[in-house]
Amino acid sequence: MPVSKALIEELEKKANGLRCDVVKMCHQAGSGHPGGSLSAADIVAALYFHFMRLDPQNPKWEDRDRFIMSKGHACPVQYAALSRRGFFPEEVLWTLRKFESPLQGHPDMKSTRGLDMTSGSLGNGLSIGVGMALGARIAQKDFRVYVMLGDGELQEGLVWEGAMAAAHFKLDHLTNFVDYNKLQIDGENKDIMGLEPLVGKWQQFGWETLEIDGNNMAEVVGAIEQAQGMKGKPTCIVAHTVKGKGVSYMECAAEWHGRAPTGEELDRALCELGEKGGQG
Ligand SMILES: Cc1ncc(C[n+]2csc(CCOP(=O)(O)OP(=O)(O)O)c2C)c(N)n1
């Protein structure tokens, strides 16, 4: 089905709002991970504001779709989406990383309303997603499970055990995103441990594999729709993205993996993100 222009524009606006929240939250905290949050913002916006079946009044609703931010350091963008989706008030966002805040530096499902999984130790999320998708099948539920992995995270061996298991069990309600921003904590993947040919790897592991521009909302929406129609196989969406997307001085700069903007840098970021960043 062709995706409507109005929907794409609405989701782009949502993604922009998430980006504004991310830079504000990291500034307020004086720490955090803006780079990998900004690269993921378009996918997170599409999931939380269009695709995922959720009930903010009942965050543990058994039939809800699940999302696991396996690259847990990118949680600011997920917290922003949860807040804008109505799981908790906006003010809570400004407590990120503070002592006793429900929003810790890495996701803790016991502290944060609407989180489906604890993460931060890289490598675990896909295997957990496999467990959730198998659980759904056993319980005869039709909810979907979405996982997001970082590209650097793919260097963890457990990812590939999960990949094998998902294909073996034909988990077609499981969709995995690789946020392929080409950078990890302090450099380029290709210099640390190369991933190519990445699409071929997922295909050979038995996954339906789509390759998109993960910062292009029409492509993101189209790919998720395609994944939803897939039968008998899990889908991996290899999403080419830009680390730090939307803030010129953060783009493609490993330095911004885990550093907070100063007041002046924040102003510049918000100015670049423009007025579309307001609530809505
Ligand atoms: C098991 C484990 N080892 C190391 C780390 C430290 N660490 C945090 S983020 C990161 C880099 C992750 O890179 P990538 O997955 O590409 O994330 P992105 O660039 O999207 O932020 C590392 C090594 C960790 N969180 N967990």
| pLDDT 10s digits, 124-159 | 999 999 999 999 999 999 999 999 999 999 999 999
Residue with tokens 């966002």: 93
Does the Cβ of 184 fall within 6 Å of ligand 1?
A: yes
Instruction: Report the nearest atom of ligand 1 relative to the CA of 185.
Output: 11
Q: Coil, helix or strand for 164?
A: helix
Does the Cβ of 74 fall within 6 Å of ligand 1?
A: yes
Let me know: does 187 contact 254? Beta carbons within 8 Å: yes
- Is residue 226 over pLDDT 50? yes
**Average pLDDT of the segment spanning 260-280:** 82
Question: Ligand 1 mean position to 120 CA, how many Å?
Answer: 8
Instruction: Report the nearest atom of ligand 1 relative to the CA of 120.
Output: 25
Dist CA 15 CA 164 (whole Å): 32
**Secondary structure element (H or E) that encloses residue 227, with its range:** helix 217-229
Does the Cβ of 245 fall within 6 Å of ligand 1?
A: no
Does the Cβ of 185 fall within 6 Å of ligand 1?
A: yes
Question: Ligand 1 mean position to 242 CA, how many Å?
Answer: 16
pTM: 0.97
Backbone φ and ψ of 124, nearest 5°: -90, -25
- Is residue 278 over pLDDT 60? no
Residue 102 gets which letter from DSSP?
S
Q: Count the neighbouring beta carbons within 10 Å of the beta carbon of residue 263.
A: 8
Does the Cβ of 182 fall within 6 Å of ligand 1?
A: no
**Confidence at 234, pLDDT banded by 50, 70, 90:** very high
Radius of gyration of the chain (CA): 17
Does the Cβ of 125 fall within 6 Å of ligand 1?
A: no
Pocket test for ligand 1, best of 151, 185, 188, 245 (most atoms within 8 A of CB): 185
